[in-house]
């Protein structure tokens, strides 16, 4: 069994042009599965067409996804992928300013071993108990106080722990590091 890869994007905030970096990376590396963690759900359809990238999406909506067209998109999802169970949410509803404990409890209740969330525009990876809590940062809504635009690719090698690859967009180029 090969290592499975999952493209994880969040918070495009109508910056469709910034999605091209993540989409091109996905195309170049044959990544067929992707997650979007909210705040820009309406950006995806036109961006996929524009950049000719059509992965299998798992999408949750964020606190800025309020138009009538996206209200049917769930706020939370479970994704079984690469031998792991991922809990997906935007995150705002979990009182994250006080830490990740509420998010941890929600993921634990869903039987997940990885929780992915957006909302904050910086990247973070931490382990609480037996659950990885990960946010990819923002692909489009970078602000000086939040850092730079980014996305992640999670590798799920068979019988091993996940590897989180961080891709930051700096000066029109992608820089890679392990998160």
pLDDT digits (tens, 9 = 90+) for 77-95: 999 999 999 999 998 888 7
Q: All domains of the chain, ordered by start, with CATH?
A: 4-135+143-149 (3.60.21.10)
pLDDT at 50: 94
Beta sheet of 4-9, edge-to-edge order: 56-59, 33-36, 4-9, 149-156, 163-170, 173-178
At 110-168, the pLDDT tens digits run: 999 999 999 887 889 999 999 999 999 999 865 655 568 999 999 999 988 999 999 99
Mean pLDDT of 99-109: 93
pLDDT bucket at 1, cuts 50 / 70 / 90 = low
pLDDT of residue 86: 98
Residues 6+ apart with CB under 8 A from 103: 89, 91, 94, 96, 115, 117, 133
Q: How much of the chain exceeds pLDDT 90, in percent?
A: 74
Higher-scoring residue by pLDDT: 58, 18: 58
Q: To the nearest whole number, what is the mean pLDDT of the chain?
A: 92
For residue 51, give the DSSP letter.
Answer: H
pLDDT (average), residues 31-49: 96
* pLDDT level of residue 76 (50, 70, 90 thresholds): very high
């Amino acid at each position: 069994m090969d290592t499975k890869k999952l493209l994880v994007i969040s918070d495009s905030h109508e910056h469709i042009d910034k999605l091209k970096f993540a989409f091109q990376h996905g195309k170049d590396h044959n990544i067929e599965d992707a997650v979007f963690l909210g705040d820009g759900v309406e950006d995806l359809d036109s961006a996929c067409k524009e950049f000719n990238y059509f992965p299998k999406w798992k999408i949750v909506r964020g606190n800025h996804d309020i138009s009538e067209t996206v209200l049917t998109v769930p706020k939370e999802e479970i994704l079984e992928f690469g031998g792991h169970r991922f809990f997906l949410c935007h995150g705002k509803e979990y009182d994250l300013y006080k830490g990740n404990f509420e998010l941890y409890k929600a993921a634990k209740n869903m039987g997940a071993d990885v929780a992915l969330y957006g909302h904050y525009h910086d990247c973070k990876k931490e382990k609480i108990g037996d659950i990885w809590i990960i946010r990819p940062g923002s692909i489009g809504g970078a602000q000086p106080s939040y850092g730079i635009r980014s996305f992640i690719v999670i590798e799920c090698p068979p019988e091993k722990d996940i590897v989180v690859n961080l891709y930051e967009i700096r000066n029109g180029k992608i820089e890679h590091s392990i998160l």
